[in-house]
Structure 1
Amino acid sequence: MSVSQLAKIRIKNLRLRTFIGINEEEVNNKQDVVVNVEIHYLAERATHSVEIEDALNYKPITKSVIRHVEENRFALLECLTAELLDLVVCDDRVVFAEVEVDKPNALRFADSVSIALCYHKD
């Protein structure tokens, strides 16, 4: 009998620049955002294989996140975070995912403000 193996992929502190916010300065100037992604997927085939097709390949996921952030404009962190979560859960093997987006220097006395959203497969 084989035990299901759950893999956890973490993409940590992906630093990107985009237009995010609602005031004039934010609309006209790119700002830094920091993206963290955690993806859990069923990895039983990958743990007994040498084929990349048997694993959830994090490189194209990361590239799609980068492209989406850098090529679009966002009014709210919630919208950006939700759109990124949609990108990372497109593979049927994903059973859980969390995306957190930080906006450094959004508040005067804080390192950053962040929004995190999760997905759970039923």
Structure 2
Amino acid sequence: MAGCGTYVITVRGFVAPFQIGVYAHERGRRQRLRIDVRLVVERGRPRFPDDVATVLSYEGLVLALEKLADGPHTQLLECLADRIGDLCLADQRVVEAEVSIEKPNVLPQIDSAGVTITYRRDDAVQAAPGALS
């Protein structure tokens, strides 16, 4: 299985309202976030059979993001990115996850503000329960 290389799965432009922010005016209301995720996944085999059960499903990632959107208030984009990174690395096939989160229209002078964080299996401290299958 090892040595068959990797492939990349991307989810771009996931948009949902989240409870997020450090300021008093951000509490008790939801703010729209845009999330992009890029996963580097071990192939596990030299060729893919035409069977969704043999690959990591991006639908599972979207469902996990929807669940996080329904979660409790988070102060920092960085902490939300950490949760997403942990979810991604919970699937043992994922060797790297890049998570970008943007807060559109957060200040009148800019289109958006955000963070991009890369998580690697070798750096993972703990894995969150629930794989992305």
Is the structural similarity TM-score above 0.5? Answer: yes
- 1:84 corresponding residue in structure 2: 84
The structure where helix makes up a greater share of residues is: 1
- What is the 5 A alignment of 1:29-68? 29-45=29-45, 47-68=47-68
Question: Could you give the per-residue CA deviations for residues 7-43 of structure 1, whole angstroms, max 9, x where no partner exists?
Answer: 1111001001011112222102211000000001112
Q: Distance in 1 between matches of 2:96 and 2:114?
A: 20
Moved over 4 A (4+): none
Q: Distance in 2 between matches of 1:24 and 1:47?
A: 52
Provide the aligned C-alpha RMSD in A.
Answer: 1.8
TM-score (norm 1): 0.89
- What is the 5 A alignment of 1:69-80? 69-80=69-80
Q: Distance in 2 between matches of 1:102 and 1:74?
A: 14
- 2:22 corresponding residue in structure 1: 22
Give ranges in structure 2 of 5+ residues lacking alignment: 123-133
Which secondary structure state, in structure 2, belongs to the residue aligned with residue 102 of structure 1?
Answer: strand
Cα distance change on mapping 1:46 and 1:37 into 2, 3 Å: farther
Measured after TM superposition, the shift of residue 89 of structure 1 is 1.5
Give ranges in structure 1 of 5+ residues lacking alignment: none
The structure where strand makes up a greater share of residues is: 1
The percent of aligned pairs where both chains have the same amino acid is: 26
Measured after TM superposition, the shift of residue 91 of structure 1 is 1.0
Q: How many residues align?
A: 121
TM-score (norm 2): 0.82
